[in-house]
Amino acid sequence: MRSTSDAAFYLLVVAGFLLPFLLLLAFKYSLAVSSITGALVLCAIFSYAAFWGFSMRNGLAAPLYRRHALWVGAAGAYFAVQWLLLALFAPFYPYGGTPQTRFLIDSYNDFAYTMIFAWIDATMPLVRQSDPLLRDPLRWKRLRLILWPLVLLGAVGTDIGLESVAVITQSQYPILRDLFATVPYPAILLGALGLSLSVKRSKDATLRSHLRWFGLAGTLIVLTFLLGHFAHALGFIPASAALFVQTADYVMLTAAGVFLFKSAKDLVLLSQASSEAIVEPRELGMS
């Protein structure tokens, strides 16, 4: 039954993935119609992944696993809302519409940095406690205190801070905008490096598989941020690369949604384990 539902999901993903391209041809390369359709498809995929994340939380016994399932659901829900907003405002973003519309979408998008880094920060204790030696990669307990302000600077300063200053001074600051938008990437990279080291040390095969899928989803999402950032910075939007950037984004984000779903489905194995099998690793180390 589970394999049948999974197969149906993948078939719907393939059909939904192709639909914007078919509409692009049918409406004579109208990006508005295909963009709205693609955003709705992504919203549906991430919503389904969020549903599985929240559902698995109720079946997990260990508090750390329950908390991580909550993060899977929260990440799926966040990005589902993101694509829903883009579907509602796609004909006007990012080239038109009111300043309030662009400010709303840009501000919400920038908090994706915070979402990804918060997941890394919440996952680190879980993976560390599945390491028999309880090693702290990159001295994360201290490093996180430095990285969090950088991530928040990129999330809040890029649009909320600079937009407020621009309104007051009636001036634009493109250099500062690009600088603030770049700040979170090194922090996320260091977090991903530390997490990958912890995953390799973990003795929990199911947890490693779950984190591998989630890590792939997060990597693809960050790559879409980088692609959009460098595309704008290099100045080949909208004329020469707008369609290429949107297509590459759509392909990577569709794959990210599927990987997030697979990450949530791996939690099923954890929920089927007995409570004795998923006792907190710290308790095992103290016995």
Q: What is the pLDDT of residue 80?
A: 93
Three-state SS sequence of the chain: CHHHHHHHHHHHHHHHHHHHHHHHHHCCCCHHHHHHHHHHHHHHHHHHHHHHHHHHHCCCCCHHHHHHHHHHHHHHHHHHHHHHHHHHHHHHCCCCCCHHHHHHHHHHHHHHHHHHHHHHHHHHHHHHHCCCCCCCHHHHHHHHHHHHHHHHHHHHHHHHHHHHHHHHHCCCCHHHHHHHHHCHHHHHHHHHHHHHHHHHHCCCHHHHHHHHHHHHHHHHHHHHHHHHHHHHHHCCCCCCCHHHHHHHHHHHHHHHHHHHHHHHHHHHHHHHCCCCCCCCHHHHHHC
Q: What is the pLDDT of residue 177?
A: 66
| Domain boundaries defined on the chain | 2-286
**Which pLDDT tens digit goes with each residue over 200-225?**
777 777 778 878 888 888 888 888 87
Please tell me whether the overall predicted TM-score, pTM, comes out greater than 0.85 for this model: no
Parts of the chain with a pLDDT under 70:
1-3, 29-30, 90-100, 102, 157-180, 229-242, 269-287
Q: What is the pLDDT of residue 276?
A: 41
Q: What is the pLDDT of residue 246?
A: 79
Q: What is the pLDDT of residue 77?
A: 93
Q: What is the pLDDT of residue 278?
A: 41
**Which pLDDT tens digit goes with each residue over 15-62?**
988 988 888 788 776 677 788 888 899 999 999 999 988 888 877 777
Calculate what percentage of the chain has a pLDDT beyond 70.
73
Q: What is the pLDDT of residue 272?
A: 54
- Any idea which fold 2-286 has? Rhopdopsin 7-helix transmembrane proteins (1.20.1070)
